[in-house]
Amino acid sequence: MGRRDIDRPAGPYPEDLVSWLTRALDFPAGVVLLTGTGVVPERDFTLRAGDVVTIDVAGVGTLRNPVTVVGTGG
């Protein structure tokens, strides 16, 4: 990620997200990549192994996902 065109918004482009996803894992039957987030971190932000992503939804519950390194990404 790092390309920025003047007429495109800042942030990761779909092809960049797919590239990162397929570096770590193989998907012989295909894959669906859903982003659906309104949270856009700073450009130098990155998650590292051991971090925990937590999402709280009032009336629904809390989702906690620990960050791990998989595949050849690390």
Predicted pLDDT at 60:
93
Tell me whether residue 2 is in a domain: no
Tell me whether residue 28 is in a domain: yes
Q: Kindly report, residue by residue over 42-60, the tens digit of the pLDDT.
A: 878 888 899 999 989 999 9
Q: Kindly report, residue by residue over 7-51, the tens digit of the pLDDT.
A: 555 566 778 888 888 887 888 888 877 777 667 778 788 888 999
Tell me whether residue 20 is in a domain: yes
The domain of 55 spans 14-66
Tell me whether residue 27 is in a domain: yes
Predicted pLDDT at 71:
73
How far apart are alpha carbons 66 and 36 in whole angstroms? Answer: 19
Q: Which two tokens stand for residue 37?
A: 């987030």
Determine if the pTM surpasses 0.85.
no
How far apart are alpha carbons 50 and 64 in whole angstroms? Answer: 12
Residue 1 pLDDT level (bands cut at 50, 70, 90): very low
Please calculate the CA angle 24-45-60 and round it to the nearest 5 degrees. 80
Tell me whether residue 73 is in a domain: no
Tell me how many domains the chain contains. 1
